[in-house]
Amino acid sequence: MLSENALRRYAGLLALLLAGPVVAAAGSESLRGRLAEVVDGEPLRLLTLDGETFELVADSGLDRTLRDPQLSDRTWELRGALLDDGRFGLEKIFTVKQGQLHRVTYYCVICHITTHEPGICMCCQGDTDLRELPGE
């Protein structure tokens, strides 16, 4: 009979093995293009460089970032998964400048706090500045 500690180790290993293929498949697709006209209350859509259009599914933070007017003229690389209904589920977003990927962040110069969505600083309630940082 296995000890309780051994059972826990095997249960953890089994969970990792079962989750492995899911983790490997997640985020394996990427799309590059520009956002279609952004209309409040309507889903975001990406027009890819090869002419396809995908409706985007994003959490509220990614949605707010993509809707930021400061970023309206950007080319985007979006990573995630194509869903069964043809929409694209977002996991990570990057702007593309001169062929290089950039992470989108917002920074409070007063509090030195970085966040990943537009809005006021969570500390001082002041403005945050858009920053696009090279790299993934």
Instruction: Choose among 37, 113, 40, 47: nearest CA to 78.
Output: 47
Q: What is the mean pLDDT of residues 61-67?
A: 96
27-134 CATH pick, 1.10.10, 2.40.50, 3.30.460, 2.60.40: 2.40.50
Confidence of residue 136 (pLDDT cuts 50, 70, 90): confident
Residue 1: per-residue pLDDT: 54
Alpha-carbon distance of 47 to 2, in angstroms, equals 56
Q: What is the mean pLDDT of residues 54-83?
A: 96
Write the CA distances from 58 to 43, 47, 79, 82, 129, integer angstroms.
9, 16, 11, 12, 22
| pTM, to two decimals | 0.76
Q: What is the mean pLDDT of residues 67-91?
A: 96
Percent of the chain at pLDDT > 90 equals: 74
Residue 12 in this model has a pLDDT that exceeds 90? no
Encoded tokens for 2? 């296995």
Alpha-carbon distance of 106 to 120, in angstroms, equals 9
Confidence of residue 4 (pLDDT cuts 50, 70, 90): low
Residue 24 in this model has a pLDDT that exceeds 50? no
